[in-house]
Structure 1
Amino acid sequence: MFNHFNARKIYNVVDDDPAPRSEVFAFAQSLIEKRYPDLAADSAESNSQSRIIAAEKRVSNGRLKQELGVRLAHPSYRSGLQSILDSWLEGNQ
């Protein structure tokens, strides 16, 4: 399994769905708003996020999966964020 592993290589630990941060934040916000409809997003926080977004990069996880044989439990940010929210809700019941 690790026959191609090289400690000098870079392995990007990311999901299979590269997306702009604004899209990820919007999806996360929609999940929270579905569960807590009365919760409103803070516009000041949204403005600070837009300044950070300008420097974003998209990377591939191909080497991680091919060389190390990694199989992602949540191959997209959507399933990962949904899983996080579900686990929080299960813990609060």
Structure 2
Amino acid sequence: MSHTIREKQKLLARVRRIRGQVEAIERALDGEAGCDQVMHLIAATRGAISGLMAEVIEDHVRTHLADAEHQPLASKNEAIEQLVDVVRTYLK
């Protein structure tokens, strides 16, 4: 079972909070809020997305890389490559 499925409700709750934050940015822009308020909302949303990514990466590492008993070497190597690709894309 994939860790994203196992943690589905927790991850969906985070995504829903992030959606609310993005909607708050939209409302602020629509309401012509000050730059400082908009920047704070964007920074909070960015932090929330980074936190979500960190949680998924941590679960990925723990599930697919650190669990030596349940993961054959070929599966581990594939998981490592997937993680490296995601991190490279995320850090661009």
Relative to its length, the structure with more helix (as a share) is 2
Query: Structure 1-normalised TM-score?
Result: 0.28
Higher normalized contact order (CA 8 Å, seq sep 6+, divided by chain length): 1
TM-score (norm 2): 0.28
